[in-house]
Structure 1
Amino acid sequence: MATKGWVHAWQSVPMRIFLFLFGIFFLSACSPRDGAHEAYYENGQIQTRANYKDGKEDGLYESYYENGQLRVKISFKGGQRDGLAEWYYENGQVRSRQNFREGKRDGLWEFFEADGRLLWSRNSYVDEGLIDP
């Protein structure tokens, strides 16, 4: 008799919906990320925006402060930083800016004060021999 009740529960519409949604969640958690992904703060503001290809970050990654102001913007290619990366103060001013190539710093690296004044800069090149630690 107990078995009949159990079988009946599995055949109910709410249980089928639950199993369907659980299956989708399970498959999406096991498969590599692909495409655009976004996360949000509890207040509804965007927290992060990223693109993935074959489970690796690929394209523009953006992170935001809880007030909606841009925090960081980084270009990725095949899971590695590649291109311009910029970090921002909460007031919107650029905090630092640097270029990457295949995951390594490459070129000018700048740091700024919160009011926008240049604090310091240095060069680091991958192929030309000058590498800053």
Structure 2
Amino acid sequence: MKKLMTMLALFMSFCMVCAPMAQAETMKSLRGSEAVKGDAPSENYRWEKDRKPLPRQFVQQPPLIPHTTKGYLITKEFNKCLDCHSWDRTADTGATKVSITHFKTRGGTELTNISPRRYFCQQCHVPQTDAKPLVGNTFKPADGLVK
């Protein structure tokens, strides 16, 4: 039994060390130019200047963020976005109010504050940018959204 446990421990150690190395070598970006280096924006990412929001392309699309979010702090104790977008601050800031849908639980119960599942804004909302597509596509906006 002791020998089996030792062998299992050695095998697991090998897997923990070697598997991530092998995976990193085979992962490529969609552009195919370099290996993926994690979730952090690369040094080539260009933060856009503030501008008017871009139109939505499909019915349930979360609005894009029309300003930089560089350095915005969002933790479980603090959300920088709510400094301007909370309902009690929008009159002073001129920012768009957080949608009423963000105050409901998954079961539909209305809350007095932002729902925990909607609290981390950049899970759905991303800064807009004029980036070239990673791959070609033939997407067309929803007919009801075309002006």
TM range (shorter): under 0.3
- Name the larger-Rg structure: 1
More strand by share: 1
Q: TM-score, normalised by structure 2?
A: 0.25
Q: What TM-score do the two structures reach when normalised by structure 1?
A: 0.27
Higher relative contact order (CA 8 A, sep 6+): 2
